[in-house]
Structure 1
Amino acid sequence: MTDLTDFHSYRSNPEVTKYQGFDVMTMDEAEDFINRHKDRLYGKPGEWVQYGIINNATGKLIGDCAIKLDEDDARIAVIGITISHLHQRQGFAKEVMTGVLAFLFDTKQLHRIVETMDAENTAVINLMKSVGFRLEGHFIENIFFKGKWGSEFQYAMLKREWDARK
Protein backbone atom coordinates (compact mmCIF):
# COMPACT_ATOMS: atom_id res chain seq x y z
CA MET A 1 0.00 0.00 0.00
CA THR A 2 2.98 2.34 0.36
CA ASP A 3 3.07 2.51 -3.46
CA LEU A 4 -0.65 3.24 -3.88
CA THR A 5 -0.25 6.90 -4.86
CA ASP A 6 2.43 6.15 -7.47
CA PHE A 7 0.45 3.15 -8.77
CA HIS A 8 -2.71 5.22 -9.09
CA SER A 9 -0.80 8.04 -10.80
CA TYR A 10 -0.02 5.98 -13.89
CA ARG A 11 -2.96 3.57 -13.77
CA SER A 12 -5.33 6.57 -13.89
CA ASN A 13 -3.62 8.21 -16.87
CA PRO A 14 -5.61 7.74 -20.12
CA GLU A 15 -2.43 7.73 -22.24
CA VAL A 16 -0.96 4.89 -20.15
CA THR A 17 -4.17 2.85 -20.23
CA LYS A 18 -4.92 3.51 -23.92
CA TYR A 19 -3.70 0.08 -25.09
CA GLN A 20 -4.09 -1.81 -21.81
CA GLY A 21 -6.71 -4.39 -20.95
CA PHE A 22 -7.84 -2.14 -18.11
CA ASP A 23 -9.29 1.35 -18.13
CA VAL A 24 -8.31 4.33 -15.99
CA MET A 25 -8.54 3.45 -12.30
CA THR A 26 -9.96 5.43 -9.44
CA MET A 27 -7.97 5.49 -6.21
CA ASP A 28 -10.40 2.93 -4.73
CA GLU A 29 -9.98 0.63 -7.75
CA ALA A 30 -6.20 0.92 -7.50
CA GLU A 31 -6.31 0.03 -3.81
CA ASP A 32 -8.61 -2.92 -4.50
CA PHE A 33 -6.28 -4.13 -7.27
CA ILE A 34 -3.28 -4.07 -4.95
CA ASN A 35 -5.20 -5.89 -2.23
CA ARG A 36 -6.32 -8.61 -4.65
CA HIS A 37 -2.83 -9.16 -6.07
CA LYS A 38 -0.42 -8.50 -3.21
CA ASP A 39 -0.27 -12.09 -1.93
CA ARG A 40 -0.11 -13.86 -5.29
CA LEU A 41 3.07 -15.77 -6.01
CA TYR A 42 4.61 -16.90 -9.27
CA GLY A 43 3.77 -20.40 -10.42
CA LYS A 44 0.01 -20.93 -10.47
CA PRO A 45 -0.98 -21.68 -14.08
CA GLY A 46 -3.78 -19.49 -15.42
CA GLU A 47 -3.32 -16.74 -12.82
CA TRP A 48 -1.83 -13.31 -13.50
CA VAL A 49 0.89 -12.29 -11.06
CA GLN A 50 1.85 -8.61 -10.91
CA TYR A 51 5.28 -7.30 -9.92
CA GLY A 52 6.09 -3.70 -9.13
CA ILE A 53 8.89 -2.00 -11.04
CA ILE A 54 11.02 0.12 -8.74
CA ASN A 55 13.49 2.76 -9.85
CA ASN A 56 16.61 1.76 -7.93
CA ALA A 57 17.88 5.35 -7.85
CA THR A 58 14.73 6.74 -6.19
CA GLY A 59 13.11 3.69 -4.59
CA LYS A 60 9.82 4.74 -6.19
CA LEU A 61 7.32 2.59 -8.08
CA ILE A 62 7.49 3.45 -11.80
CA GLY A 63 5.41 0.64 -13.28
CA ASP A 64 4.44 -2.99 -13.08
CA CYS A 65 4.79 -6.15 -15.08
CA ALA A 66 2.57 -9.19 -15.26
CA ILE A 67 3.24 -12.86 -15.86
CA LYS A 68 0.66 -15.56 -16.47
CA LEU A 69 1.64 -19.18 -16.97
CA ASP A 70 -0.48 -20.98 -19.51
CA GLU A 71 -3.27 -22.89 -17.79
CA ASP A 72 -2.64 -26.03 -19.87
CA ASP A 73 1.16 -25.89 -20.11
CA ALA A 74 3.17 -24.04 -17.45
CA ARG A 75 6.23 -24.01 -19.74
CA ILE A 76 4.53 -21.19 -21.67
CA ALA A 77 3.93 -17.69 -20.28
CA VAL A 78 2.13 -14.54 -21.34
CA ILE A 79 3.69 -11.30 -20.15
CA GLY A 80 2.78 -7.64 -20.03
CA ILE A 81 4.36 -4.42 -18.84
CA THR A 82 3.16 -0.96 -17.83
CA ILE A 83 5.52 1.97 -17.30
CA SER A 84 4.42 5.25 -15.73
CA HIS A 85 3.99 8.15 -18.12
CA LEU A 86 6.61 9.96 -16.00
CA HIS A 87 9.24 7.31 -16.77
CA GLN A 88 8.64 6.25 -20.37
CA ARG A 89 11.34 6.55 -23.05
CA GLN A 90 14.13 6.19 -20.47
CA GLY A 91 15.06 2.54 -21.08
CA PHE A 92 13.21 1.13 -18.08
CA ALA A 93 10.85 -1.05 -20.16
CA LYS A 94 13.74 -2.71 -22.00
CA GLU A 95 15.67 -3.25 -18.77
CA VAL A 96 12.64 -4.79 -17.07
CA MET A 97 11.72 -6.91 -20.09
CA THR A 98 15.26 -8.28 -20.30
CA GLY A 99 15.13 -9.13 -16.59
CA VAL A 100 11.76 -10.86 -16.92
CA LEU A 101 13.04 -12.89 -19.89
CA ALA A 102 16.16 -13.92 -17.96
CA PHE A 103 14.01 -14.95 -14.99
CA LEU A 104 11.55 -16.96 -17.07
CA PHE A 105 14.03 -18.56 -19.48
CA ASP A 106 17.19 -18.93 -17.40
CA THR A 107 15.82 -19.44 -13.89
CA LYS A 108 12.42 -21.04 -14.52
CA GLN A 109 13.42 -22.78 -17.78
CA LEU A 110 10.27 -21.85 -19.67
CA HIS A 111 9.96 -22.91 -23.30
CA ARG A 112 8.00 -20.00 -24.78
CA ILE A 113 6.95 -16.44 -23.89
CA VAL A 114 4.19 -14.56 -25.69
CA GLU A 115 2.92 -11.00 -25.71
CA THR A 116 -0.11 -9.73 -27.61
CA MET A 117 -0.52 -6.01 -28.18
CA ASP A 118 -2.66 -3.51 -29.99
CA ALA A 119 -1.43 -3.16 -33.57
CA GLU A 120 -1.24 0.62 -33.06
CA ASN A 121 1.01 0.37 -29.98
CA THR A 122 4.29 1.15 -31.72
CA ALA A 123 6.22 1.61 -28.45
CA VAL A 124 5.57 -1.99 -27.38
CA ILE A 125 6.10 -3.33 -30.90
CA ASN A 126 9.51 -1.64 -30.98
CA LEU A 127 10.29 -2.97 -27.48
CA MET A 128 9.43 -6.53 -28.52
CA LYS A 129 11.67 -6.30 -31.58
CA SER A 130 14.53 -4.76 -29.58
CA VAL A 131 14.66 -7.67 -27.11
CA GLY A 132 14.42 -10.32 -29.82
CA PHE A 133 10.76 -11.27 -30.05
CA ARG A 134 9.47 -12.20 -33.48
CA LEU A 135 6.09 -11.45 -35.00
CA GLU A 136 3.90 -14.54 -35.12
CA GLY A 137 0.52 -13.18 -35.98
CA HIS A 138 -1.50 -10.17 -37.06
CA PHE A 139 -5.14 -10.44 -36.08
CA ILE A 140 -7.41 -8.04 -37.95
CA GLU A 141 -10.28 -6.50 -35.97
CA ASN A 142 -10.27 -9.52 -33.67
CA ILE A 143 -11.20 -7.73 -30.46
CA PHE A 144 -13.89 -5.24 -29.51
CA PHE A 145 -11.85 -3.01 -27.25
CA LYS A 146 -12.83 0.22 -25.53
CA GLY A 147 -15.77 0.84 -27.83
CA LYS A 148 -14.29 -0.11 -31.20
CA TRP A 149 -12.91 -3.04 -33.14
CA GLY A 150 -9.15 -3.35 -32.76
CA SER A 151 -6.40 -5.35 -34.39
CA GLU A 152 -3.56 -7.05 -32.53
CA PHE A 153 -0.08 -8.40 -33.11
CA GLN A 154 1.27 -11.45 -31.33
CA TYR A 155 4.99 -11.62 -30.68
CA ALA A 156 6.79 -14.58 -29.12
CA MET A 157 10.20 -15.92 -28.21
CA LEU A 158 11.43 -19.45 -27.55
CA LYS A 159 14.09 -20.33 -25.00
CA ARG A 160 16.46 -21.44 -27.78
CA GLU A 161 16.06 -18.02 -29.42
CA TRP A 162 16.82 -16.33 -26.10
CA ASP A 163 19.88 -18.55 -25.61
CA ALA A 164 21.15 -17.73 -29.11
CA ARG A 165 20.98 -13.98 -28.34
CA LYS A 166 23.15 -14.23 -25.23
Structure 2
Amino acid sequence: MHLNSISNRICIRNLKDSDLNDFFSYRSNPEITKYQGFDIMTIGQCKDFIDSQKDMQFGKAGEWVQYAIEDIETNRLIGDCAIKLDDYDVRIAQIGITISHEFQQKGYAKETMKTILDFLFSIEDFHRVVEIVDAENKASIKLLESLGFKKEGHFVENIFFKGKWGSEFQYAMLKSEYNNK
Protein backbone atom coordinates (compact mmCIF):
# COMPACT_ATOMS: atom_id res chain seq x y z
CA MET A 1 0.00 0.00 0.00
CA HIS A 2 1.33 3.44 -0.90
CA LEU A 3 0.38 6.82 0.53
CA ASN A 4 0.39 9.57 -2.08
CA SER A 5 -2.59 11.72 -1.18
CA ILE A 6 -3.70 15.09 -2.41
CA SER A 7 -6.12 17.48 -0.70
CA ASN A 8 -7.11 21.04 -1.56
CA ARG A 9 -3.72 22.62 -0.85
CA ILE A 10 -1.26 19.83 -0.13
CA CYS A 11 0.27 16.70 -1.55
CA ILE A 12 1.54 14.04 0.85
CA ARG A 13 4.32 12.11 -0.88
CA ASN A 14 7.65 10.45 -0.21
CA LEU A 15 10.53 12.73 0.71
CA LYS A 16 13.03 13.46 -2.08
CA ASP A 17 16.53 14.92 -2.38
CA SER A 18 15.24 18.32 -3.53
CA ASP A 19 13.42 18.72 -0.18
CA LEU A 20 16.72 19.06 1.69
CA ASN A 21 16.96 22.87 2.10
CA ASP A 22 13.33 23.34 3.17
CA PHE A 23 13.54 20.28 5.45
CA PHE A 24 16.70 21.62 7.10
CA SER A 25 15.13 25.08 7.52
CA TYR A 26 12.51 23.85 9.99
CA ARG A 27 14.21 20.72 11.37
CA SER A 28 17.09 22.93 12.59
CA ASN A 29 14.74 25.34 14.38
CA PRO A 30 14.61 24.74 18.19
CA GLU A 31 11.04 26.08 18.40
CA ILE A 32 9.87 23.48 15.88
CA THR A 33 11.62 20.61 17.66
CA LYS A 34 10.52 21.68 21.16
CA TYR A 35 7.82 19.00 21.54
CA GLN A 36 9.13 16.57 18.95
CA GLY A 37 10.86 13.26 19.59
CA PHE A 38 13.93 14.57 17.77
CA ASP A 39 16.37 17.41 18.42
CA ILE A 40 17.56 20.05 15.97
CA MET A 41 19.26 18.49 12.99
CA THR A 42 22.36 19.42 11.00
CA ILE A 43 22.23 19.57 7.21
CA GLY A 44 24.09 16.24 7.12
CA GLN A 45 21.59 14.60 9.45
CA CYS A 46 18.74 15.95 7.33
CA LYS A 47 20.31 14.52 4.16
CA ASP A 48 20.86 11.14 5.81
CA PHE A 49 17.27 11.14 7.13
CA ILE A 50 15.80 11.94 3.71
CA ASP A 51 18.00 9.23 2.15
CA SER A 52 16.71 6.72 4.69
CA GLN A 53 13.06 7.61 4.09
CA LYS A 54 12.66 8.53 0.43
CA ASP A 55 11.98 4.96 -0.75
CA MET A 56 10.06 3.76 2.34
CA GLN A 57 6.59 2.37 1.87
CA PHE A 58 3.68 2.29 4.25
CA GLY A 59 2.49 -1.00 5.66
CA LYS A 60 5.14 -2.61 7.86
CA ALA A 61 4.18 -3.10 11.51
CA GLY A 62 6.21 -1.06 13.99
CA GLU A 63 7.95 1.07 11.36
CA TRP A 64 7.68 4.87 11.15
CA VAL A 65 7.40 6.09 7.55
CA GLN A 66 8.06 9.79 7.05
CA TYR A 67 6.35 11.69 4.23
CA ALA A 68 6.73 15.16 2.74
CA ILE A 69 3.92 17.69 2.96
CA GLU A 70 4.14 19.74 -0.23
CA ASP A 71 2.23 22.93 -1.01
CA ILE A 72 0.56 22.18 -4.37
CA GLU A 73 0.64 25.80 -5.54
CA THR A 74 4.37 26.37 -4.91
CA ASN A 75 5.65 22.75 -5.05
CA ARG A 76 7.52 23.63 -1.85
CA LEU A 77 8.03 21.39 1.19
CA ILE A 78 6.10 22.92 4.09
CA GLY A 79 6.49 20.10 6.60
CA ASP A 80 6.52 16.37 7.05
CA CYS A 81 4.35 13.74 8.61
CA ALA A 82 4.79 10.16 9.71
CA ILE A 83 2.67 7.08 10.19
CA LYS A 84 3.57 4.08 12.30
CA LEU A 85 1.47 0.97 12.36
CA ASP A 86 1.30 -0.72 15.75
CA ASP A 87 3.97 -3.34 16.42
CA TYR A 88 1.39 -6.06 17.05
CA ASP A 89 -1.77 -4.95 15.25
CA VAL A 90 -1.69 -3.17 11.87
CA ARG A 91 -5.28 -2.03 12.37
CA ILE A 92 -3.92 0.62 14.78
CA ALA A 93 -1.62 3.51 13.88
CA GLN A 94 0.08 6.56 15.33
CA ILE A 95 0.63 9.79 13.35
CA GLY A 96 3.16 12.59 13.75
CA ILE A 97 3.17 15.96 11.98
CA THR A 98 5.77 18.73 11.78
CA ILE A 99 4.92 21.98 10.01
CA SER A 100 7.58 24.54 9.13
CA HIS A 101 7.58 27.73 11.21
CA GLU A 102 6.88 29.63 7.96
CA PHE A 103 3.57 27.81 7.46
CA GLN A 104 2.14 27.33 10.95
CA GLN A 105 -1.29 28.62 11.96
CA LYS A 106 -2.56 28.39 8.39
CA GLY A 107 -4.53 25.15 8.71
CA TYR A 108 -1.91 22.89 7.14
CA ALA A 109 -1.60 20.58 10.16
CA LYS A 110 -5.36 20.05 10.25
CA GLU A 111 -5.54 19.46 6.51
CA THR A 112 -2.65 16.99 6.75
CA MET A 113 -4.25 15.14 9.64
CA LYS A 114 -7.61 14.90 7.83
CA THR A 115 -5.89 13.61 4.69
CA ILE A 116 -4.03 10.93 6.65
CA LEU A 117 -7.15 9.95 8.59
CA ASP A 118 -9.10 9.64 5.32
CA PHE A 119 -6.34 7.37 4.00
CA LEU A 120 -6.08 5.18 7.12
CA PHE A 121 -9.80 4.85 7.72
CA SER A 122 -10.38 3.89 4.07
CA ILE A 123 -8.34 0.73 4.70
CA GLU A 124 -10.59 -2.26 5.21
CA ASP A 125 -10.60 -3.44 8.85
CA PHE A 126 -8.51 -0.47 10.01
CA HIS A 127 -9.69 0.36 13.54
CA ARG A 128 -7.96 3.16 15.46
CA VAL A 129 -5.48 6.05 15.48
CA VAL A 130 -3.64 6.81 18.74
CA GLU A 131 -1.83 10.07 19.42
CA ILE A 132 0.65 10.72 22.22
CA VAL A 133 1.18 14.45 22.82
CA ASP A 134 3.27 16.46 25.26
CA ALA A 135 0.94 17.85 27.93
CA GLU A 136 2.40 21.33 27.32
CA ASN A 137 1.83 21.27 23.55
CA LYS A 138 -1.36 23.33 23.50
CA ALA A 139 -1.47 23.71 19.69
CA SER A 140 -1.39 19.94 19.10
CA ILE A 141 -3.95 19.30 21.82
CA LYS A 142 -6.28 21.89 20.28
CA LEU A 143 -5.82 20.30 16.84
CA LEU A 144 -6.60 16.79 18.08
CA GLU A 145 -9.68 17.92 19.97
CA SER A 146 -10.93 19.95 16.97
CA LEU A 147 -10.78 16.78 14.87
CA GLY A 148 -12.78 14.78 17.41
CA PHE A 149 -10.00 12.83 19.10
CA LYS A 150 -10.84 11.80 22.67
CA LYS A 151 -8.43 12.09 25.57
CA GLU A 152 -7.90 8.62 27.01
CA GLY A 153 -5.05 9.10 29.41
CA HIS A 154 -2.72 11.46 31.25
CA PHE A 155 0.74 10.13 31.98
CA VAL A 156 2.42 12.22 34.66
CA GLU A 157 6.19 12.69 34.33
CA ASN A 158 6.38 9.43 32.39
CA ILE A 159 9.18 10.41 30.02
CA PHE A 160 12.61 11.94 30.49
CA PHE A 161 12.67 14.23 27.49
CA LYS A 162 15.27 16.81 26.50
CA GLY A 163 16.79 17.03 29.95
CA LYS A 164 13.66 16.98 32.12
CA TRP A 165 10.69 14.84 33.10
CA GLY A 166 7.67 15.44 30.91
CA SER A 167 4.02 14.48 31.01
CA GLU A 168 1.95 13.27 28.08
CA PHE A 169 -1.67 12.84 27.07
CA GLN A 170 -2.98 9.97 25.00
CA TYR A 171 -5.72 10.74 22.49
CA ALA A 172 -7.42 8.33 20.12
CA MET A 173 -10.07 8.09 17.44
CA LEU A 174 -11.91 5.01 16.24
CA LYS A 175 -12.87 4.44 12.62
CA SER A 176 -16.52 4.31 13.67
CA GLU A 177 -16.21 7.73 15.31
CA TYR A 178 -14.53 9.23 12.25
CA ASN A 179 -17.14 7.81 9.88
CA ASN A 180 -19.96 9.24 12.00
CA LYS A 181 -18.67 12.82 11.77
TM-score, normalising length from structure 2?
A: 0.90
Distance 1:109 1:91, change over 3 A: farther
Q: What is aligned with 1:100?
A: 116
* Equivalent residue letter for 2:73: A
Q: What is aligned with 2:180?
A: 164
* Equivalent residue letter for 1:101: L
* Equivalent residue letter for 2:157: E
1:26 equivalenced with 2:48 (yes/no): no
1:69 equivalenced with 2:85 (yes/no): yes
Name structure 2 gaps, 5 residues minimum: 1-16
CA distance in 2, matches of 1:111, 1:44: 16
1:59 equivalenced with 2:61 (yes/no): no
CA distance in 2, matches of 1:89, 1:99: 17
- Count, aligned residues: 165
Q: What is aligned with 1:78?
A: 94
Q: Percent identity?
A: 63
CA distance in 2, matches of 1:40, 1:84: 22
1:97-124 CA deviation, whole Å, 9 max, x = no partner?
0000000002454200011010000000
Name structure 1 gaps, 5 residues minimum: none
Q: What is aligned with 1:41?
A: 57
Instruction: Pick from 108, 115, 120 the counterpart of residue 131 of structure 2.
Output: 115
Instruction: Pick from 128, 141, 146 the counterpart of residue 130 of structure 1.
Output: 146
CA distance in 2, matches of 1:135, 1:154: 6
SS in structure 2 opposite 1:86? coil
CA distance in 2, matches of 1:147, 1:77: 28
Distance 1:109 1:54, change over 3 A: farther
CA distance in 2, matches of 1:26, 1:109: 40
Instruction: Pick from 147, 150, 155 the counterpart of residue 139 of structure 1.
Output: 155
1:116-156 CA deviation, whole Å, 9 max, x = no partner?
01000000000001111010111000000000000001110
- Alpha-carbon RMSD across the aligned residues, in angstroms, is 0.8
TM-score, normalising length from structure 1?
A: 0.97
* Equivalent residue letter for 2:84: K
CA distance in 2, matches of 1:20, 1:156: 19
